[in-house]
Structure formats: structure tokens, C-alpha cells
Amino acid sequence: MQLWNPADMPKTILIREVGMRDGLQQEKFVVPTNQKIDLINSLNLTGLQAIEVTSFVHPDFVPQLSDAEQVLRGIQRKDSVSYEALVPNEKGLARAQDTDVDEVIFVVSASDEHNLANVKQTRKQSLLALEKIAEKKKDCKVKVTVGTAFGCPFVGEVSYEWVYEIIKTSWELGVHEVFLADTTGMANPRSVYERVSQVRLDFPEISLGLHFHDTRGMGLSNVLAGLQAGVSVYDSSLGGIGGCPFAPGATGNIATEDLVHMVEEMGIHTGVNLPELLKVSKKLQDILGRELPGHILKAGPAFPGSHEKDQRELS
């Protein structure tokens, strides 16, 4: 019998929880600040090592995240967790640094059309803004997310040259961690494997992460392709909530509990306690008052108890 032998896959992965920012930004119901703080404090107990807490965009654009300072100042921080926030410009960076954020994320879309819809700037204008952020950042680290890295709803195929330009500029500005985002769920496993492999070939010293949406039901399949290409850092969203408010048809991110369940069943460790994570997902579902898209929250683990056993062995 041929045994599963994922020779090129990482044995452990790091999961960045983005539900509190990328997930909630799409919700019409504005979650009260104290409930956001409680959710993040609960996520602290799951073993997650990175949480994207909020965004310092102008409140008029995303009212859901207008309480960014209050949330970051109100949470109970753990030394083992990186608390991160999206910043669109210098003003956002200044606000974020006043809260002692650990890392900031700057997003620039590979296609001008999506970048204009998202931040009202061309790609080149956003890269100039990134230059200013890189100059003025203090103690926090800067990450860059390349939006629409696998396809754009406005122009279709996205040239690798556009992606290359963003990563090259980021590296030259001292940014050493980059995420490729499938912002509207247009990627497929082949396109993921080929694009990721090319980026890793061209930028071997860049720390590369992946951010998938499940718009067309291929989110976890694309994770598998990313694993096969050697990527060990992934964004995901509690309950599978989220999307892009500036792109038509962009539904939620891959669900964190679904991602944890899949890779742990494959023997790839996350350090995340799935039963604890499901408790937080259920709490979020109760707050939003609707069924969330994630599968494991509905069906439960395939082998109940196996994840608790894995956690005991890791501890």
C-alpha cells in the first residue's frame, strides 16, 4: 500500500487569524467594542500565534472598524501572540503605532483597477505610500499583502510582472514578509502552485504567506497547492466570514477551524486547539445572529477527540 508522503510539505504551519479585521469589515451589523475585545481574548486561549485585530482606515470607509484604538488598547495581550493591524497610509501608521501594535499590514493590489476601487490609488501610488510607511515605522514590523495576486474581477488575468514589481519594491524597502492574496477567489490549485513557485524562485529570501477566499469553493484546495509549494504561513478567518467590500461577488475567507481541521488530519501541526477555536466560532455566530459559512462548526471534526489528543502530545 502506498503511504502518504508529503515530502515537500511543511510539518508545521503558522495561521494568522484575520476574522476580526478582514472578516468583520464585510458585516453590516456593527459588533460592539466590548464583544470584539472578548472575542480576541478568547482567541488568545486557542494557541493562535498571530491575530489581525483591526484596521486603521478612515471610519467613513469601514465603520465596523472605527474603534480600532479602543480594541487594541482593551485586549489582554499574550507575549506568545502577535497583534497586527492593517494600515492604508502614514496617518493609519501613526494611529497604529500609538497603540503599540506588533505588526502592520499594507495592502496593494496587483491590478490598478482593483487598487483604485479599494484605496483610490494606482499601484504605483500605493508603492509610494509604502515607501513613506517604511521610512516612518518605528518598533513595529511591516508586512505587505499583494491583493488580486491570482486574478482580478475587473481585468481577469493578473500579470506576474505586476506581482513581481510589488514584491521587488517591498524587498528594497526592507519588507521581508509578503502575502499573496486571492482577494476574490479566482485562484485554482495549478495557478497557486505555479505562481508561488515562481515567487519563491525569484525571491528566495522573502517570507511568503498565502491568503485565500472561498468564493468559488476552492479555498482549501488552494491551501493544499500552497503546502505542496512549501508555504507554511496562511491567513484564515474565524467561521469563514469576510470578503472584500470593494469587489463584486467576493465572499468569505477560508474558515480557520476548517483549515486547522484539514491540516491536522494530514499530520501537519498548527499549535491551535480546535475545540477551543470552535467555542470562539460559536460565540461569533451567536453575536452575528446567523449561521456562519465554516463547515467544521456545522459538522464537527471527522474524528472527535483526535485533536485533543494531538494537543496533549504537543504540550
Residues taking part in catalysis? 244
Classify residue 238 as exposed, middle or buried by CB count within 10 Å of its CB (0-12, 13-18, 19+): buried
Residue 182, strand partner residues: 212
CA distance 315 to 309: 10
Pairwise CA distance, residues 54 & 84, whole Å:
7
